Each structure stands twice: as C-alpha cells, then as structure tokens.
Amino acid sequence: MSAALRPLPKLGPAEILRIVASMTVACLAGAAMLGAVFMATDRYRAAAALRGERAAIRDMLALDSTATLVEVKQFLAPERRQVVYRAAPLGAEGAPGHEVTFTLDGRPAGERDVAGGTPLAAGLVPLGRMFVAKRAGVPAGFVVEGESRGFKKRIRMFVALRPDFSIADMRVIEHEEDPGLGAEVATPWFRGQFVDRSADEVAKLDVTKDPMPEDWRAALLAMAKRSPGGSARHAALLPRERAKPIYAVTGATISSRAVTDGVRATVDHFRRRWALLEPHLGGLR
C-alpha cells in the first residue's frame, strides 16, 4: 500500500496507451465472461423460481399430481379505467391463454383468447397474481398473492383458499422483520392460526396480545410438522379457538397485525374478483 503514496514517474504516451488498452481488454473480457455465465445460469434461476412456486402451491393446497395450475395475472389500464386479467397454465411457456377485461366498476369489457407469448397491451400496470388449481375442470383451490405493510418493509404472502374460500394455508414469502421478533410471523405456529377459518370469520379477524394457550400452540406445531395425530389435535381444539382473535407474536404486535390485515384484505379482494372472473375462465383446463 505504501507504494501508492510515493510519487510515481511520469508516463509516456505509449505507456498510457498500453494501460488504456489493457484495461479495456480486461473489462471486455470480464463482461463477455459474465454474459456467458448469465446465459448459462438464468434458465436455471427461472426454472428454480417456478419450481419453488409450484411446490409451495401444491403443498399449501395438498394437491396431487392430477390437478392442473392456472396462473392469473391482474393488470390495471389506468387511462381506460379497466382491469385486465390474463390467465395461462402456470409455467407452460408458449401455451395459449385467456384474457378478460372489466371496467373498474366490475362490468365486463371484453374477453379474448391469446396465443402463447402474446405481448401485453402498452401501459398496463401489474397489480398482482393468483393461482387457480383445477381438478377435472373444477376449481380445487386457490392461492392468492397478497401484501401488507410490516414493521419495516412490505410483507408478501401467499394465502391458500379452498373452493368455499376458507383458508387452507398461509405462507409469508418475503419479509424484513427483526429475527426472533417480527420474523416469527413466518413460523408454523403463527400462520397455523389462520388455517380452517371461514371467509366470514376472516373478515372479522382481530389480533390479541393475550398469551397463546399451550395446547393450541402444541397442536399448531404438530400440524405443521405433519406428525401423526397433528391434524386431529388441531381439529379438536379448533371449535374453541376459531371464534378467538389471532394471538400476536410476543413483542411484535405490529407485525402480527400487519399479517392479519394482509390476509383479511387478500381474501376479501379475491372473493370479489373471483365472482367476476369465474364465468369467464371455464375454458382453461
């Protein structure tokens, strides 16, 4: 390091040219190599992301391999005051899809089949995604992406719903809460509290700071671990607990409330949207 502080001899123009040339070559070689690595790995990254999403959805809805998954992306067309839904089989590149458009007030404004890879109309703003699991053409469950403002940053979650809109499962997929405190909202015992509550119960769901009963916590953990009898213990305690609010994580009431609010809004919005969408998505198998 001390060499850098000593005054250096003046460089001739030839030297400078050589330095510039070698730096340029080094940068270009580096960029070329990175381009190659990018092209080699990007495919795997996309595939891994898709695989993770698909596995999470199947796991949350307890689906077998006979079910098919349809991904519905929602967009806003601000100038036209319209909402556009584009549905296509999840992860099938180039498969044909279906596009349904509604006005902001929920009146149908057109629908069309789109070939795979059809670009979106200009000016569409993505709003969110939902996944519909189908078995023999009938919806077997839904997974809806939702978000909420947490203690520090946004909390993103997947809410899995049964066809009657009761909650099948919930996962926090992205958060930046404090480890040990707010981050506990992603743990099985916290998210397990939402499972099996009906849509109407969720709409009125509140959060309490009361301590969670130990037997309920043990049952939630057993259910999450899929240990034998876990579901039975959960089912036995559910009648007592389903009328009660969500027990907040100790020391992280704001994070707990953020997740609960997020689940409530996600379920509410999805029910309204699905009521519009359902008649139009029959053709997708």
Partner 1 sequence: MSTVLLPGPAPTARQLILNGIFAENPVFRLALSLCPAVAVTTTVANGLLLGVAVLLVQVLSSVTVTLVRGFIHPRVRIPVYTIIIAVWVSAIDMTLAAFTPALYAQVGLYVKLIVAFAIIISRLEVFASRQPLVPSFFDGLGMGLGFLFALVVIGAMRELLGAGSLAGIPLAPGKPLLFFALPAGGFFSIALLMALFNWVERRTTGKSSAGGAGGTHGV
Partner 2 sequence: MASRLRPWMPCRPGRPGAATRAARTAPAALSLAVLLAAALAVLAAAGVQADTRLLSARVVTPDRLALRFSAPLERTDPANFRFTTAQAPDVPIAVTAVRRAAGDRVVLTLGQKLSGSEHYRLEIADPPLSRDVRPSTWALLITVLLSSALINNFVFTRYLGLCIFFGVSKKRDTSLGMGATFTMVMVFTGMVSWAIDSFVLRLLHLSFLQILVFIGTVAFVVQFLDTMLRKTHPGLHKRFGIYLMLITTNCIILAVPLLNAQGSAGPLESFALALGSGGGFALALFLMSCARERTELARVPAPFQGLPIAFALAGLFALAFMGFSGLDFFR
Q: Which residues bind partner 2 (CB under 8 A)?
A: 4, 27, 30-31, 34-35, 37-38, 76, 83, 102, 104, 106, 127-128, 147, 149, 151-152, 178, 254, 265, 268-269, 272-273
Task: Please check whether residue 277 is in contact with residue 132, taking contact to mean a CB–CB distance below 8 angstroms.
Answer: no
Q: What strands lie across the sheet with 167-174, from one edge to the other?
A: 108-114, 97-103, 82-89, 68-77, 125-135, 138-149, 154-161, 167-174
In this structure, what token pair is assigned to residue 182?
Answer: 């707010």
Which SS3 state, helix, strand or coil, does residue 275 take? helix
Residue 33 interacting entry, from partner 2, partner 1, none, C-beta within 5 to 8 Å by type: partner 1
Q: How far is the CB of 38 from partner 2 (least distance, A)?
A: 4
Residue 1 or residue 138: which is nearer to partner 1 going by CB? Answer: 1
75 touches, from partner 2, partner 1, none (C-beta below 5 to 8 Å by class) = none
Comparing CB distances to partner 1, the nearer of 178 and 201 is 178
Which residue lies nearer to partner 1 by CB, 130 or 252?
Answer: 252
The residue from 147, 178, 201, 268 that contacts partner 1 (CB under 8 A) is 178
DSSP string, 92-121: -TT--EEEEEEETTS-EEEEEEE-TTPPPP
**The one segment of 93-101, 176-184, 240-248, 271-279 that binds partner 1 by CB under 8 A:** 176-184
**Residue 239 DSSP symbol:** H
What does the alpha-carbon distance between residue 222 and residue 213 come to, in Å, rounded to a whole number?
Answer: 14
DSSP state of 186: G
Stretch that binds partner 1, among 10-18, 71-79, 82-90, 265-273 (CB under 8 A): 10-18
Q: Is 45 in the site for partner 1 (CB under 8 A)?
A: yes
Minimum CB–partner distance for residue 27 and partner 1 (Å): 6
Q: Rank residues 43 and 285 by Cβ distance to partner 1 and give the closer one.
A: 43
Q: Please give the DSSP secondary-structure letter assigned to residue 250.
A: T
| Residue of 251, 271, 253, 263 lying closest to 148 (CA atoms) | 263
Q: Which is nearer to partner 2, 68 or 82 (CB)?
A: 82
Q: Kindly report the number of other CB atoms within 10 A of residue 85's CB atom.
A: 21
Count residues binding partner 1 (CB under 8 A).
28
Beta strands at 207-208 and 246-247: parallel, antiparallel or unpaired: parallel
Residue 1 makes contact with partner 1 by CB under 8 A:
yes
Q: Which of residues 96 and 128 has its CB atom nearest to partner 2 in the complex?
A: 128
Segment 256 to 285, residues that bind partner 1, using CB under 8 A: none
